[in-house]
Amino acid sequence: MLSRILYILFVSLISLETLSAQAVSEELKKIKAADLACINASMNISYNVYTNYITQVPFDKLKGVYKKNGQNYFSDIGGILTVRNDKIVFSVDTISRLIILGDHQKQLYRLGIVDLDTLVPFFVKTTVADLKNGQRMITMVFKDEHEYEKIQLFYNPETYFVNKLILFYSNEQSLDEEEDLTEEKPRLEINYQNINTTSIVPLSDFSEKKYLQLLPNGAIGVDKYAEYEIMDDREKFRGKQKNQ
């Protein structure tokens, strides 16, 4: 079985070479630039967490969607919705029944790949592999005592759109505090699927009106969100909290 796995891994790679930190930094910047330059996009996102580096059976799964139109975006991951439009940025936690309002972010990037280029100084080794399926894989190994032992990034080398991100955590931990599980080093796989950049996402998908009403002195939830707690973290309302 092991020899078969090694054979499959070998024949799936066209080339494997070590990249300098500068070269990796340039690749990551191109990925960011491609994502920022994409005006309209929608995709499905899945998060699979595993108890260790090699198991193929997820300990837990989350699925969701991401949409973008210009500076507007919407995501719904595991019951937590995040919306940005020209008025407001807010998150709706349907599990905790909480709405959090915030100030606009300066830049927009796809979930999970926001700050990878800032991690370059912490890499001790980086390699790139061009796969037979047309994807490119960058493996980034970190210095000791970092949160991650390594990260693997899979993307299209022509469009620079990311299809998968794998985070290998460096510290052993039990993913279930209620069960007596062996502490192991977990990994998190984030998959970006059904990427659509041709269909325009309607602006109504980014409206706050189905969730809340903005008032001069804050905001209140509406309809089925009317009983949600409001936490207004915008600078002019920071520290104020209202229960509806």
Q: What is the pLDDT of residues 8-38, one digit of tens each?
A: 333 333 444 555 667 788 888 888 888 878 8
Range of 1-15, 117-131, 144-158 with top mean pLDDT: 144-158
- pLDDT for 211 equals 96
pLDDT confidence of residue 125: 87
User: Model pTM?
Assistant: 0.80
Please, which contacts does 100-109 make with residues 24 or more away whose CB atoms are closer than 8 Å? 100/231, 100/233, 101/212, 101/219, 101/230, 101/231, 101/232, 101/233, 101/234, 101/237, 102/233, 102/234, 103/233, 103/234, 103/235, 107/36, 108/36, 108/68, 108/71, 108/73, 108/84, 109/32, 109/35, 109/36
Supply the pLDDT for residue 13.
Answer: 38
pLDDT, tens digit (0-9, with 9 covering 90-100), for 47-101: 999 999 999 999 999 999 999 998 898 999 888 999 999 888 999 999 999 999 9
Q: How many Å apart are CA 156 and CA 137, to the nearest integer?
A: 9
CATH number of 13-243: 2.50.20.10
pLDDT higher than threshold 60 for residue 162: yes
What pLDDT does 112 receive? Answer: 54
**Which pair of structure tokens corresponds to residue 133?**
């399926």
Query: Between 233 and 54, where is the model more confident?
Result: 54
Give 95-127 pLDDT, tens digit per residue: 999 999 988 765 565 555 656 777 788 888 888
